[in-house]
Structure 1
Amino acid sequence: MNNSSGDAPRFALVAHDARKDEIVDWVGLQLARLSRVQIFSTGTTGSRIKQTYPELDVTCLKSGPLGGDQQIGAMICEEKLDALIFFVDPLSPMPHDVDVKALTRLATVYDLPMACSRSTADLIVKGLIDEDDNAPV
């Protein structure tokens, strides 16, 4: 994990419109683990997560098409994230598809764990959070 200061892991959570319900449901299934994470999220996705789970530490950025994707991209470049969970809708045309490609490229360049589906997100969260539980004190 990039976060060597001992602070809470920092995750970005993003979802396309057609997958916002799914990411909110997924957060509920991972609530115990995510309660130990600092979450950064694009506007609408973050607002929905925050409204449903007010106990979580969620920082809402701009809406994705209005610059939120770029804000997350900057956080990746500055190594201020430990994982990116991006529930992408592969079946709908996206006018800001270039933003999705940019985030994917940055996550790859900076070797940041990234999930685009629920099963991969489960593995990342379990691996990073449970890894902290097994770290030497």
Structure 2
Amino acid sequence: MTDTGQGARIALVAHDAQKEAIVDWARQNRARLERFEICATGTTGGRLSDEAGLEVHRLLSGPLGGDAQLGAMIAEGRLAALFFFIDPLAAMPHDVDVKSLQRLATLYDIPLALNRATADAVLAHIVGGAD
């Protein structure tokens, strides 16, 4: 999906140890994020809705199929950007799913943010396209 205009779909996901960080980042960027249709996996989506006040389409929990749902959106051209705050110090039982998302984002040339610094850069890029 190259169209990053008003209403383009983005995904926000975070490992458990990074959920507070993505919620804090989303709160700080709420006005810019509201320009997009936001989807998120399970708990992350609930926290973004409850704590950051964003309208979020919640997918399944990542290990229960949410990561696969996001992968399908990427492959089908239905995702403009993926914000996935990862915990680089924790082993994930569904690590293969996480790597699959990274591979698909790279293959389909989807902007991918893995931490706050890259999230700021990606959001500035796609909002620039939305203006």
Shorter-chain TM-score bucket reads: over 0.9
TM superposition outliers: structure 1 runs of 4+ over 3 Å: none
Q: Report the equivalent of 2:17.
A: 18
- One-letter code aligned to 2:113: A
Q: What is the CA–CA distance in structure 1 between the aligned matches of 2:6 and 2:73, rounded to whole Å?
A: 16
Q: Report the equivalent of 2:130.
A: 132
Q: Report the equivalent of 1:57.
A: 55
Q: What is the CA–CA distance in structure 1 between the aligned matches of 2:15 and 2:7, rounded to whole Å?
A: 26
Q: Report the equivalent of 2:111.
A: 113
1:110 CA displacement: 0.4
The question of whether the paired residues in 1 share the 8 Å contact of 2:6 and 2:130 is answered with no
Q: Could you tell me which of 74, 77, 81 is aligned with 1:76?
A: 74
Q: What is the CA–CA distance in structure 2 between the aligned matches of 1:91 and 1:43, rounded to whole Å?
A: 22
- One-letter code aligned to 1:119: A
Which structure's CA Rg is the greater one? 1
Q: Report the equivalent of 2:94.
A: 96
1:53 CA displacement: 3.0
- One-letter code aligned to 1:92: A
RMSD: 1.3
1:37 CA displacement: 1.0
The question of whether the paired residues in 2 share the 8 Å contact of 1:3 and 1:80 is answered with no
- One-letter code aligned to 2:28: L
Q: Report the equivalent of 1:123.
A: 121
List alignment gaps of at least 5 residues for structure 1: none
- One-letter code aligned to 1:52: E
Structure 1-normalised TM-score?
Answer: 0.91
Q: Report the equivalent of 1:66.
A: 64
Aligned CA distance change for structure 1 residues 87 and 68 (closer, same or farther; 3 Å) = same
List alignment gaps of at least 5 residues for structure 2: none
Structure 2-normalised TM-score?
Answer: 0.95
> Is 1:2 aligned to residue 7 of structure 2?
no
Secondary structure (helix, strand or coil) at the match of 2:97 reads helix
1:7 CA displacement: 4.6
- One-letter code aligned to 2:98: V
CA offset digits 1:87-113 (Å, max 9, x no partner): 000001111000110000000110000
